[in-house]
């Protein structure tokens, strides 16, 4: 009989324990429901959350950056994934936690409570301002403490305008700013407080093209400025753009070394000019159309395009001088024209041939001297332009 009673007692103890746990859970759930009913019984979300209307309400802002999907230099926009937290004290959302099973926090949708009106001046996406309308979809959540302290959090993809300075491209450092202000703050005496606000990169997962150097925050005249400093990783640009352009500039000088008789001098110089033009077009497509901050690298590329164009012109002049006065058959144009004029078909005498040969040698010497001078000029111009560009970029 005892062997039968022992299992029955164990089963009874289990059910009693289960009932107690369920009762306690139901009591907690009922208490939280009752707490919400008590807190929101006479709550008006459109009323300023201070019992004295003239009292100043301080709002703190904390911004956390997650990632930088894109930094568009040409359109001067910064794309960032952020986590934003607003905090303030609502004097109408308070309770004594000891009366409600020590519940200290309530998790609520943001469209049930008063929220400050805060805007980001640089934001150009659809979520520029925090307002009653922006939280209707309940994507934003609020955590309310029993003391009335409210944390409103939201994650969003931000696109902000940023004035980029590409003077030192590709070794440039860019600074972007989030400017927060309250459009209706002066009417309700709402102040964005610098103390308690922050801009942090604790959760930043990194970017392939940019290094995050620092974040900082400033406050003045009721506005909060959150700055982020980014530095470009130049290795990819150096390998794919800078080094090929330097190689092309060296090849451009070798056009003057190519023998006159090869017949490839003009073809090679024209091909190099077109290659420079393509690189210039690619770089200009990535640069902002800003005349105030011209990239020194773009100036260098433009200089190389001009030098390459000058090379094409000078190579044409040099070849023209080299073959001056002689046609394909080696007969002087001057004497040939004279023969046609007089209607004669006699061959030139030995003296005329010697004069034409001497004239041809003279023009060839002049062509080679001009080519040598252009080679020296091209090499000096390349070295000077490169040194000036690098010194200005790294200064």
CA distance 322 to 319: 5
Does 373 reside within a domain?
yes
* Whether residue 143 sits in one domain with residue 27: no
- pLDDT band for position 260 (cuts 50, 70, 90): confident
Residue 358 has pLDDT above 60, yes or no: no
- Domain membership of residue 45 (yes or no) is no
pLDDT at 354: 55
Does 358 lie in the same domain as 213?
no
Residue 94 in domain: yes
Out of 233, 267, 290, pick the residue that ends a domain.
Answer: 233
Report the pLDDT averaged over residues 227-234.
Answer: 93
For residue 72, the tally of other CB atoms under 10 A from its CB is: 14
State residue 157's pLDDT score: 86
Q: Which pairing describes strands 77-89 and 141-145: parallel, antiparallel, or unpaired?
A: unpaired
Rg (CA), the chain: 40
185 pLDDT more than 50: yes
pLDDT band at 353 (very low <50, low <70, confident <90, very high): low
How far is residue 241's CA from residue 232's CA, in Å, rounded to a whole number?
Answer: 15
Within-domain flag for 49:
no
Q: Are residues 274 and 387 in the same domain?
A: yes
Say if 52 falls within a structural domain.
Answer: no
pLDDT value for 326: 52
Q: Please name which of 314, 258, 304, 300 lies closest in space to residue 277, comparing C-alpha atoms.
A: 304
Domain count, the chain: 3
Q: Does 228 fall in a domain?
A: yes
Whether 83 and 163 share a structural domain: yes
- 115-172 residue pLDDT tens: 999 999 888 886 788 888 888 765 788 999 999 999 998 888 889 998 888 888 889 9
Q: Which among 215, 233, 251 is the end of a domain?
A: 233
Q: What's the CATH code of the domain at 126?
A: 2.70.170.10
* Mean pLDDT, the chain, whole residue set: 81
Residue 51 lies in a domain: no
Structural domain contains residue 97: yes
Burial profile 338-354: b = 16 or more Cβ within 10 angstroms, e = fewer: ebeeeeeeeebeeeeee
Upper half-sphere CA count for residue 135 (Cβ side, 13 Å): 23
pTM of the model: 0.75
Q: Are residues 200 and 317 in the same domain?
A: no
Residue 80 has pLDDT above 80, yes or no: yes
Looking at the fold, whether 276 and 170 belong to one and the same domain comes out as no
Q: Is the pLDDT of residue 254 over 70?
A: yes
pLDDT of residue 138: 59
Alpha-carbon span 382 to 249, nearest angstrom: 7
- Listed in sequence order, the DSSP H helices in the chain are 2-39, 185-188, 235-237, 243-254, 265-286, 296-322, 333-342, 350-394
| Extended beta strands in 138-246, E state | 141-145, 149-161, 173-181, 190-192, 198-200, 210-220, 223-232
139 and 66, same domain (yes or no): yes
Domain identity same for 222 and 294: no
67-76, 259-268, 331-340, range with greatest mean pLDDT = 67-76
Q: How confident is the model at residue 344 (pLDDT cuts 50, 70, 90)?
A: very low
259: DSSP letter: -
Residues 226 and 87 in one domain: yes
Domain finish residue from 233, 265, 282:
233
Q: For residues 232 and 248, give the distance between their C-alpha atoms in angstroms, rounded to a whole number.
A: 25
Considering only 18-27, 42-51, 95-104, 127-136, which range has the smallest mean pLDDT?
18-27
On the question of pLDDT at 259 being above 60, the answer is yes
- Considering the domain architecture, whether residues 217 and 174 belong to the same structural domain is answered as yes
Both 311 and 198 in one domain: the answer is: no
Helix, coil or strand: residue 205: coil
Kindly state whether residues 295 and 329 are assigned to the same domain: yes
Domain that holds residue 7: 1-39
User: How high is the pLDDT of residue 350?
Assistant: 54
């Amino acid at each position: 009989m005892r062997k039968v009673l022992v299992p029955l007692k164990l089963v009874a103890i289990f059910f009693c324990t289960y009932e107690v746990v369920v009762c306690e859970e139901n009591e907690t759930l009922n208490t939280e429901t009752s707490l919400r009913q008590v807190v929101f019984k006479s709550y008006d979300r459109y009323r300023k959350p201070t019992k004295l209307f003239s009292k100043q309400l301080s709002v703190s802002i904390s911004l956390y950056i997650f990632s930088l999907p894109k930094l568009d230099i040409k359109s001067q926009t910064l794309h960032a994934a952020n986590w934003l937290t607003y905090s303030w004290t609502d004097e109408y959302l308070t309770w004594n936690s000891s009366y409600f099973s020590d519940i200290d926090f309530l998790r609520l949708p943001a469209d049930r409570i008063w929220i400050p009106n805060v805007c980001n001046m640089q934001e150009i996406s659809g979520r520029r301002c925090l307002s009653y309308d922006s939280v209707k979809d309940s994507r934003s959540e609020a955590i309310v403490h029993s003391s009335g302290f409210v944390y409103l959090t939201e994650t969003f993809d931000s696109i902000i305008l940023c004035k980029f300075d590409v003077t030192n491209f590709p070794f440039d450092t860019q600074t972007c700013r989030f400017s927060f202000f309250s459009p209706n703050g002066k009417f309700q005496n709402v102040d964005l407080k610098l103390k308690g606000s922050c801009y942090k990169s604790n959760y930043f997962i990194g970017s392939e093209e940019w290094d995050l150097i620092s974040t900082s925050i400033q406050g003045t005249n009721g506005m909060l400025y959150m700055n982020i400093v980014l530095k470009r990783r130049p290795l990819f640009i150096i390998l794919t753009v800078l080094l090929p352009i330097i190689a092309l500039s060296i090849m451009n000088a070798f056009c003057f070394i190519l023998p006159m008789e090869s017949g490839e001098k003009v073809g090679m110089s024209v091909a190099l000019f077109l290659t420079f033009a393509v690189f210039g077009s690619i770089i200009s497509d990535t640069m902002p159309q800003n005349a105030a901050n011209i990239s020194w690298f773009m100036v260098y590329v433009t200089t190389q395009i001009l030098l390459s164009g000058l090379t094409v012109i000078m190579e044409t002049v040099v070849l023209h001088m080299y073959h001056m006065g002689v046609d394909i058959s080696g007969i002087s144009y001057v004497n040939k024209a004279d023969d046609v004029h007089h209607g004669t078909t006699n061959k030139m005498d030995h003296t005329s041939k010697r004069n034409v040969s001497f004239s041809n040698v003279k023009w060839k010497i002049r062509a080679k001297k001009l080519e040598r001078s252009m080679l020296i000029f091209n090499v000096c111009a390349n070295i000077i332009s490169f040194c000036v560009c690098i010194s200005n970029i790294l200064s």
